[in-house]
Amino acid sequence: MNLDLARSGDLLQALLPEVVLTAAGLAVLLVTAWRHRTATDLRIAAWVTLVGLAAAAAAAWWLWWRTARATGAPAMIALDDFRFVADWLFLGIAGLTVLVSFDYLEREQLLAPEYYVLLLFATLGMMLMVGGDDLMVVFLGLELMSVSVYALAGINRHSAAAAEAALKYFLLGAFASGFLLYGIALVYGATAATNLTQIGIQVRTLGLEHSPMLSIGLGLLLVGFGFKVAAVPFHMWAPDVYDGSPTPVAGFMATGVKAAAFAALFRVLAEAFAGVATWQAIVWWLAVATMVAGNLIALAQRTVKRMLAYSSIAHAGYLLVAVAVGTSAGSAALLFYLVAYALMTLSAFALLAAKGRDGERDVLIDDLGGLSQRRPWLAGALAICMLSLLGFPGTAGFIGKWYILVAATATGHLLLAAILVLTSVVSAGYYLPVIMAMYMKPEPSEQAHAGMRLGRLGGAVVAVSVAGLLFFGIRPNRLLDLAKTSSEGFGAAPAVTAPAPAPPTPTSTGR
Amino acid sequence: MYRQWVLTALLAWPVLAGLGVLLVPARWAKHVAFAASLVEFALSVPLWWTFAPDGGVQFFLDVPWIPTWGIRYTVGLDGISLFMVLLTTFLVPLSVLGSYTYITTRERGFYALLLVLTSGMIGVFVALDLFLFYVMWEVMLIPMYFIIGVWGGERRLYAAIKFFVYTFFGSLLMLVAILALVYAVAQRTGVYSFSYAHLLAHLGGLGPIAFWLFGAFFLAFAIKVPMFPLHTWLPDAHVEAPTAGSVLLAAILLKMGTYGFLRFALPLFPAVALHPAVQQVVVALSLIGIVYGGLVAMVQPDFKKLIAYSSVAHLGFVMLGIWALTLQSVQGALMVMINHGISTGALFFLAGMLYERRHSRLIESFGGIAKVVPLLAALLTIVSLSSIGLPATNGFVGEFLVLLGTFRTYPLAAVIAATGVIIAAMYLLPALQRVIYNPLDQPTNEQLPDLSARELAVLVPLLACIVWIGVYPQPILRRMEPTARHFIQTVRLNAAAFTAAR
């Protein structure tokens, strides 16, 4: 299906998932304006949100199934599989977050249905970010997402920590947006374009590879994105913000916001700046610094939530390796890793949320002691999440890491690959203590796990995520093919081919 | 039918049985696990007869797994892995039986992990695809980590994490090396494949990168063996692990390291492995392992720690035999691998039985117990003598062959290694004397019960093997000879070809 984005009818079709989600957001807003007092109202809003997310996912699927492609001049919106697959990821993350929030909000007495409105608009922002083929649209999406998430971080008005987190996130986020905007301005100054494709063409035809203005603009863009993905040295906000926010929101930030920023960053770098070599060196160093610092600082954490926060910084480092590679293999690895990372991080945060004590800020790793005796299923699920985060074979986390390593070694980044695995060894030093506490240490006190409650829907989320982690760890073929076909637009394919006797996979792309 | 599916069945059955163990009532867990491990052994026994000693890979199965990356599920057996698989399936039922009274808490979990561990161990030995090998190599870490960490002694947490981090460190570097190797071969052939046969056939000269790749493989395997400076995880893990854990750790897990050298590190990087400098370093480290391991074992007050350090010495013999690259030395190395599994396994069982009686691992807690437990004392004596390498026991055959073969390549090294046999007598015989002879000076030791029927059932099969291999090793040697010959030829020819090409 070819769509001419200069025609408004076609443009509307191209934006169908976003339009559907906007409508859903407005609908939920209407519902909450009318009913916003009791727990029942909260549940109604949540169900409407889920329906909206599902409808948007169906719209994205429709575009993907019809192989929607843009014709004509470069436009504001990109139409490619990368966008649709990333959309599914964001919608999936949002859906899982809603399911986890059901019980959590009621238990924590956060009877604010606006929570779901903000969640929907944040998701919309993510979809715009990854769908934008123009720096302006990317920026719009980023702001829509960020502003919604600032409010989400502070949704618990009774918690001083949440207020601090929201304010800190807002101030630093606004600062980062400033960097990004200034970078866009300089890039525009150098190339007279904000469209990503046109920037790429201008760089090539005008020979701007070494233009100082473009380089500075690119540097500022990287700083802005670096803030959003929490790359070292722009990571300072992340632990405090995750720590103070309600746990499901922290999970949403650690997965959704990060995934959106990474997907947008990859598109910007690969489409607009493929001809500018400088960014690869910068991202290389960012990746190394993020992996090393994230893992080392995480070692020193005693509370589970801060450990997970630093672990998410470390994972940003692994993802930056995929970005630094820059080829279509890098993009496929990025997509696959984001899926695996979202599953394991979301379920880890969901399990932490079940511990349920004032934002879970003071749950020490040792407080999980003896959990395997009291709640064997919860402990088993958390152990699998930890092993997957560690990148242990048999889990999706391993396949994701493996894919990143494949992409890195195939482009000759052997040193980067070695640093990745060495820092992964370090990460055993903070993931294993969680397992150790649950299985090998006694309960810290009698009835230490009495109040632990996951709820039926939260339990379903964890079960589905863990099943997904194990399934994709053993049989990742479909997801790999999807990630691969969605990434064919970026860079030149590496000179590798599959071995001769490949089995017929008629359903591998689903068309 | 059997030839094609037996290895897959050997891999799948323990996992399924492990899940089954989790579902039955706790008091049945050990019986179900024992039955399952007996079935596993019964499945593997026909391998012994159906295996044709021709140097090739048999029981081969090859199906695509992740075709996008050229990853296939490829399993097969040759004269090296055959004995490792049989040793595994032979020792697992004994380990289960030996844990009947030792493990009293969370039994279901323990036996399920033991069975999953079995799958991982067999997987390492039969995998002929580097991805599959890596997955199996890592997967068996987790059950062992839990077995040490949950059911171990006082310092179990420290021992468990040390074991995990050491192995994990080495294997992750190996992962990068595997990827780099596959990519280097893919650049030349245009086929992206993790298949062992494909990589071996299209190696060519890798250039200077071969040294680093070999280094990564070497590190991973040397940690596992363990070779001299990397051995420090071993005493902790051995001492803290429960009996079944110690037995399998010594008998099977250590062999994965030497097996890795035989299967991957040498055939894939022969030019580096046979480089004179590398040879000298490896031989020197093996000799240090033999002598140092023995000397340290001599001063250990803890019986389990003594056995652990004796493992370092025995595995030094294996490394020496592999690197000497003569038919006798390689066959000897393989024999030491098998014999060490049997003798040291039996020693750990006996140490565990002593511990269950007295709740102490210290040698000084015993003394003169030969009068109280004559059967246990007799068995301990025979097993110790076989571990020392007394003629007519299995220990003699392997070490003698290694020394004989090594003498042709490195005469001096063979002479030094021969002192290792004397040192073995110097640490095991005094320990034996202090445990079972000497005066019976501690009243608590006067009431020790002798071996039960179950304990006898654990030890008698091992004893039978000790005598059988000691007297008539020919059936084993005959089966491994073509493969050993093939191994030496491959390494020598490839090394010569690559050196010439450079």
Q: What is the 3-state secondary structure (H, E, C) of B31-48?
A: HHHHHHHHHHHHHHHHHH
- Pick the closest to residue A56 from A35, A34, A84, A97 (CA basis): A84
Q: Using the beta-carbon criterion (under 8 Å), do B164 and A476 form an inter-chain contact?
A: no
Q: Using the beta-carbon criterion (under 8 Å), do A440 and B156 form an inter-chain contact?
A: yes
Our CA-based measurement puts residue A336 at a distance from the nearest CA of chain B, in whole angstroms, of: 14
Give the whole-angstrom CA distance, residue A356 versus residue A105: 11
A505 within a domain of the structure (yes/no): no
Q: Residue A493 has what pLDDT?
A: 34
Is the peptide bond preceding residue A233 cis, with omega within 30 degrees of 0?
A: yes
B contacts of A424 (beta carbons < 8 Å): 172
A188 within a domain of the structure (yes/no): no
B434 within a domain of the structure (yes/no): yes
Output the average pLDDT for chain A: 87
B169 close contact with A: CB closer than 8 A: yes
pLDDT digits (tens, 9 = 90+) for B189-243: 888 889 988 888 887 767 788 888 999 999 999 999 888 888 899 999 998 999 9
| pLDDT beyond 70 at A504 | no
Our CA-based measurement puts residue A439 at a distance from the nearest CA of chain B, in whole angstroms, of: 7
Mean pLDDT of B139-161: 89
| pLDDT beyond 70 at A167 | yes
Q: Using the beta-carbon criterion (under 8 Å), do A498 and B139 form an inter-chain contact?
A: no
pLDDT digits (tens, 9 = 90+) for B69-95: 888 999 999 888 999 999 999 999 999
B426 close contact with A: CB closer than 8 A: no
Strand pairing report for B58-66 and B71-77: antiparallel
Q: Which of B70, B149, B192 sits opposite A439 (nearest CB)?
A: B149
Structure tokens at B249: 């750790």
pLDDT band at A451 (very low <50, low <70, confident <90, very high): confident
Decide if A251 contacts A314 (C-beta within 8 A). Answer: no
B105 close contact with A: CB closer than 8 A: no
pLDDT band at A447 (very low <50, low <70, confident <90, very high): confident
Q: Which of B168, B185, B211 to mutate to test the interface with A (most CBs of A within 10 A)?
A: B168
Q: Under an 8 Å CB criterion, which residues of A touch B?
A: 387, 392-394, 398, 402, 405-406, 409-410, 414, 417-418, 421-422, 424-425, 428-429, 432, 436, 439-441, 476-477, 480-481, 484, 495-503, 505
Q: Which of B179, B187, B191, B196 to mutate to test the interface with A (most CBs of A within 10 A)?
A: B179
The residue type at A229 = V
Q: Using the beta-carbon criterion (under 8 Å), do B190 and A495 form an inter-chain contact?
A: yes
B contacts of A480 (beta carbons < 8 Å): 66, 68-69
| pLDDT beyond 80 at B395 | yes
Q: Which of B161, B180, B192 sits opposite A432 (nearest CB)?
A: B161
Q: Using the beta-carbon criterion (under 8 Å), do B193 and A417 form an inter-chain contact?
A: no
B contacts of A439 (beta carbons < 8 Å): 146, 149-150
Range of the domain at B487: 274-502
| pLDDT beyond 60 at A41 | yes
| pLDDT beyond 90 at A91 | yes
B156 close contact with A: CB closer than 8 A: yes
A contacts of B157 (beta carbons < 8 Å): 436, 440-441
pLDDT digits (tens, 9 = 90+) for B16-36: 999 999 888 888 888 999 999
Helix, strand, coil percentages in chain A from 3-state DSSP, rounded to 5 = 75, 0, 25
B168 close contact with A: CB closer than 8 A: yes
- Pick the closest to residue A393 from A337, A474, A481 (CA basis): A474
B290 within a domain of the structure (yes/no): yes
Q: Which of A397-406, B136-145, B435-444 comes out lowest in average pLDDT?
A: B435-444
Q: Using the beta-carbon criterion (under 8 Å), do B160 and A496 form an inter-chain contact?
A: no
Range of the domain at A370: 277-492
| pLDDT beyond 50 at A118 | yes
A380 within a domain of the structure (yes/no): yes
Q: Which of A416, A432, A471, A509 to mutate to test the interface with B (most CBs of B within 10 A)?
A: A432
Total number of domains in chain B? 1
| pLDDT beyond 80 at A449 | no
- Pick the closest to residue B389 from B376, B378, B398 (CA basis): B398
pLDDT band at A412 (very low <50, low <70, confident <90, very high): confident
Q: Residue B205 has what pLDDT?
A: 67
Q: Residue A499 has what pLDDT?
A: 36
Q: Which of residues 71-100 of B touch A (CB under 8 A)?
A: 72
B contacts of A392 (beta carbons < 8 Å): 138, 142
Minimal-distance CA residue of chain A relative to B158: A436
Give the whole-angstrom CA distance, residue A310 versus residue A232: 11
pLDDT band at A482 (very low <50, low <70, confident <90, very high): confident
pLDDT band at A510 (very low <50, low <70, confident <90, very high): very low
Q: How many alpha carbons lie under 13 Å from residue A187 in its C-beta half-sphere?
A: 30
pLDDT band at B502 (very low <50, low <70, confident <90, very high): low
Total number of domains in chain A? 1
Q: Which of residues 188-227 of B touch A (CB under 8 A)?
A: 190-193, 195, 198
A contacts of B72 (beta carbons < 8 Å): 499
Give the whole-angstrom CA distance, residue A97 versus residue A123: 11
Location of structure tokens 């959590």? A104
B contacts of A481 (beta carbons < 8 Å): 68
Mean pLDDT of A23-44: 87
pLDDT band at B500 (very low <50, low <70, confident <90, very high): low
Beta-bridge partners for A70: A3
Q: Which residues fall within 8 angstroms of residue B71, CB to CB, at 6 or more apart?
A: B64, B65, B129, B131, B132, B194
Residue B427: CB atoms within 10 A of its CB come to 23
Tell me the C-alpha to C-alpha distance, in Å, between residue B392 and each of A412, B396, B472. 55, 7, 9
| CA end-to-end span of chain A | 13
Mean pLDDT of A459-477: 91
Minimal-distance CA residue of chain A relative to B213: A414
Q: Using the beta-carbon criterion (under 8 Å), do A428 and B193 form an inter-chain contact?
A: no
pLDDT digits (tens, 9 = 90+) for A374-386: 888 889 999 999 9
Q: Residue A508 has what pLDDT?
A: 40
ipTM value for the complex: 0.87
A409 within a domain of the structure (yes/no): yes
Concatenating the DSSP letter of every residue in B186-223 gives HHHHS----BHHHHHHT----TTHHHHHHHHHHHHHHH
Q: Which of B135, B149, B172 sits opposite A425 (nearest CB)?
A: B172
Q: How many alpha carbons lie under 13 Å from residue B175 in its C-beta half-sphere?
A: 32
| pLDDT beyond 80 at A361 | no
Number of A to B CB contacts under 8 A, please give it: 99
The residue type at A292 = V
B55 within a domain of the structure (yes/no): no
| pLDDT beyond 60 at A154 | yes
Tell me the C-alpha to C-alpha distance, in Å, between residue A101 and each of A35, A127, A252, B244. 18, 21, 11, 45
Output the average pLDDT for chain B: 89
Q: Which of B68, B180, B186 sits opposite A477 (nearest CB)?
A: B68
Mean pLDDT of B306-332: 91
B102 close contact with A: CB closer than 8 A: no
Q: Residue A21 has what pLDDT?
A: 94
Q: Which of A230-234, A327-331, A491-495, B126-130 comes out lowest in average pLDDT?
A: A491-495
B150 close contact with A: CB closer than 8 A: yes
Give the whole-angstrom CA distance, residue A312 versus residue A106: 27
B301 within a domain of the structure (yes/no): yes
| pLDDT beyond 80 at B365 | yes
Q: How many alpha carbons lie under 13 Å from residue A271 in its C-beta half-sphere?
A: 25
A414 within a domain of the structure (yes/no): yes
